[in-house]
């Protein structure tokens, strides 16, 4: 802890010293001018594209879009919506007749189906990949998610970076370790696990390997395993996966991934490793979904989308092709490594994505719709469901929870989110999460109220 504090203090002193020396040279700027951003690029060059000099060394940073800039919000979030309980509660009266007692918040039903999986709560552990912060805790996170009865995703590049059934690095579990930790801890058939495959994973035929693995045969028969096509993510839509790797690992991966610097020629501690974003057209995506369903008939098929401008069209294509679930990740979505400019300026905010999800639902989309991007509470879950989502995915909250108390931290966190969601839903005179609707919401902003067709609370 003291080392971290000293490191932070050193960076602040360095920043203050550079700014003072700049001012001494005869330059002066307004308080809001991004002097440090420009100085950082002048000093570090391309290394300044990523925010690790500002936050913490790579692998421990939990990154996401900055919602606020000095003095004003950059964009609106679900926190600009409020839940509107009624005074008259006919559903509570009906529930009383059913139960023969006064109903409690614990009577709110949270069990449902999401993307073909039976779950205890429509909450998903978002697909996190091979970055250090997610990889090291992968087994504990998997056990906790399974015991909580919620869906969990495993992100791209895990098998290629960390090994399929053997560890490449001592402190990083292999893909199969994470898979089995989840599957062996499921209870009463609740939950399900989905696995992404990157372009580089496909070189090793990852999905074929998983589908033909005899240890997983019974789980495919039960219908609790699925594959997730990644079309993008919120923190960097349109860009591929980036991580930093040690020189030893860089030497192993150089023939499979793009590394800007050849580790055989350039000697340094860490190297950027880039994964291809994948290339999609309407025909390619539709064909890929149908091919998955044909080649792996016992697997659920999920698709993860970034916050794209043509989101409604992409959702409709995925649904028409028979996708079980579609996750839409807003620009507030977390990442292990993403360019600063992408975090700031690339993609639609989560609230705007929810508007597109509602638009897609009105077009007859039948796939389960999952939304993610900066969400962390039972209130966010209830608001998202009221706007038309079928479930909410979270990433960083689960990393924090598992770091705090291992797998028990995960189950505790899910338990708390469930209680919050039940309390709020019962206050809205609803006794099943699926009954939430736009009538339960009001907006603090007139423009948002008009865009989402909600009541403006000051009208």
Whole-model pTM? 0.88
State pLDDT tens for residues 168-180: 888 899 999 999 9
Q: Check residue 176 and give its pLDDT.
A: 97
State pLDDT tens for residues 16-58: 444 444 544 556 666 667 777 777 777 777 777 777 654 445 5
Count of CB atoms situated within 10 Å of the CB of 26: 6
Task: Specify the 3-state DSSP secondary structure of 322.
Answer: coil
Could you tell me the residue ranges of all domains in the chain?
2-73, 82-236+292-456
Q: What single string gives the DSSP state of each residue in 143-170?
A: HHHHHHT-EEEE-TTHHHHH-SSS-SST
Per-residue pLDDT band at 60 (split at 50, 70, 90): low
Cα gap 197→290, rounded to integer Å: 16
Q: Check residue 26 and give its pLDDT.
A: 57
Q: Check residue 126 and give its pLDDT.
A: 96
Q: Provide the total of helices (H) and of strands (E) in the chain, helices listed first.
A: 18, 17
Q: What is the mean pLDDT of residues 215-221?
A: 98
Per-residue pLDDT band at 193 (split at 50, 70, 90): very high
State pLDDT tens for residues 288-322: 999 999 999 999 999 999 999 999 999 999 999 99
Cα gap 211→378, rounded to integer Å: 35
Q: Check residue 236 and give its pLDDT.
A: 87
Radius of gyration of the chain (CA): 23
Nearest alpha carbon to residue 192 among 289, 123, 291: 123
State pLDDT tens for residues 99-144: 999 999 999 999 999 999 999 999 999 999 888 888 999 999 999 9
Cα torsion angle, 65, 69, 74, 79, sign? positive
Return the CATH architecture of domain 82-236+292-456: Alpha-Beta Barrel (3.20)
Q: What single string gives the DSSP state of each residue in 115-133?
A: TTEEESSSEEEEEE-SSHH
Residue 202 has pLDDT above 70, yes or no: yes
Mode of pairing for the β-strands spanning 112-114 and 117-119: antiparallel
Cα gap 456→438, rounded to integer Å: 12
Q: Mean pLDDT over all residues of the chain?
A: 89
Percent of the chain with pLDDT over 70: 90
Q: Check residue 184 and give its pLDDT.
A: 98
Cα gap 326→304, rounded to integer Å: 6
Residue 195 has pLDDT above 50, yes or no: yes
Q: What is the mean pLDDT of residues 310-335?
A: 95
Percent of the chain with pLDDT over 90: 66
State pLDDT tens for residues 403-424: 999 999 999 999 999 999 999 9
Q: What is the mean pLDDT of residues 205-219?
A: 97
- Angle at alpha carbon of residue 50, lines to 46 and 56, rounded to 5°: 125
């Amino acid at each position: 802890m003291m080392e971290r504090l000293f490191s932070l203090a050193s960076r602040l002193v360095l920043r203050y010293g550079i700014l003072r020396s700049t001012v001494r040279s005869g330059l002066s700027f307004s308080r809001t001018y991004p002097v440090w951003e420009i100085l950082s690029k002048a000093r570090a060059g391309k290394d300044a594209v990523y925010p690790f000099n500002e936050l913490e060394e790579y692998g421990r940073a939990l990154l996401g879009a900055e919602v606020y800039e000095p003095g004003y919000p950059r964009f609106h979030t679900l926190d600009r919506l409020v839940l509107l309980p009624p005074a008259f509660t006919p559903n509570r009266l009906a529930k009383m007749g059913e139960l023969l007692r006064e109903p409690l918040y614990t009577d709110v039903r949270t069990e449902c189906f999401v993307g073909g999986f039976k779950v205890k709560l429509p909450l998903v552990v978002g697909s996190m990949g091979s970055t250090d912060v997610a990889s090291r805790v992968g087994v504990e996170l998997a056990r906790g998610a399974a015991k909580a009865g919620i869906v969990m995703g495993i992100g791209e590049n895990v098998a290629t970076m960390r090994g399929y059934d053997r560890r490449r690095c001592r402190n990083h579990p292999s893909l199969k370790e994470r898979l089995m930790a989840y599957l062996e801890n499921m209870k009463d058939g609740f939950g399900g696990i989905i696995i992404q495959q990157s372009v580089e994973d496909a070189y090793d035929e990852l999905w074929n390997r998983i589908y033909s693995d005899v240890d997983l045969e019974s789980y495919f028969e039960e219908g609790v395993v699925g594959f997730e096509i990644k079309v993008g993510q919120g923190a960097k839509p349109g860009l591929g996966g980036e991580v930093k790797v040690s020189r030893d690992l860089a030497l192993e991966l150089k023939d499979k991934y793009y590394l800007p610097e050849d580790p055989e020629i350039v000697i340094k501690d860490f190297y950027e490793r880039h994964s291809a974003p994948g290339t999609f057209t309407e025909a390619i995506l539709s064909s890929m979904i149908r091919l998955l369903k044909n080649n792996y008939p016992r697997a659920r098929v999920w698709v993860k989308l970034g916050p794209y401008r043509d989101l409604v069209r992409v959702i409709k294509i995925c649904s028409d092709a028979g996708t079980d679930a579609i996750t839409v990740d807003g620009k507030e979505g977390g990442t292990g490594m993403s360019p600063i400019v992408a975090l700031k300026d690339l993609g639609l905010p989560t609230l705007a994505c929810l508007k597109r999800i509602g638009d897609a639902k009105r077009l007859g989309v039948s796939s389960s719709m999952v939304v993610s991007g900066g969400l962390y509470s039972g209130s966010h879950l209830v608001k998202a469901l009221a706007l038309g989502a079928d479930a909410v995915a979270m990433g960083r909250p689960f990393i924090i929870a598992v770091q705090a108390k291992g797998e028990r931290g995960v189950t505790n966190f899910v338990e708390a989110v469930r209680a919050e969601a039940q309390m709020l839903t019962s206050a809205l005179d609803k006794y099943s999460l699926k009954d939430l609707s736009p009538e339960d919401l009001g907006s603090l902003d007139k423009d948002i109220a008009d865009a989402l067709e909600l009541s403006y609370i000051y009208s």
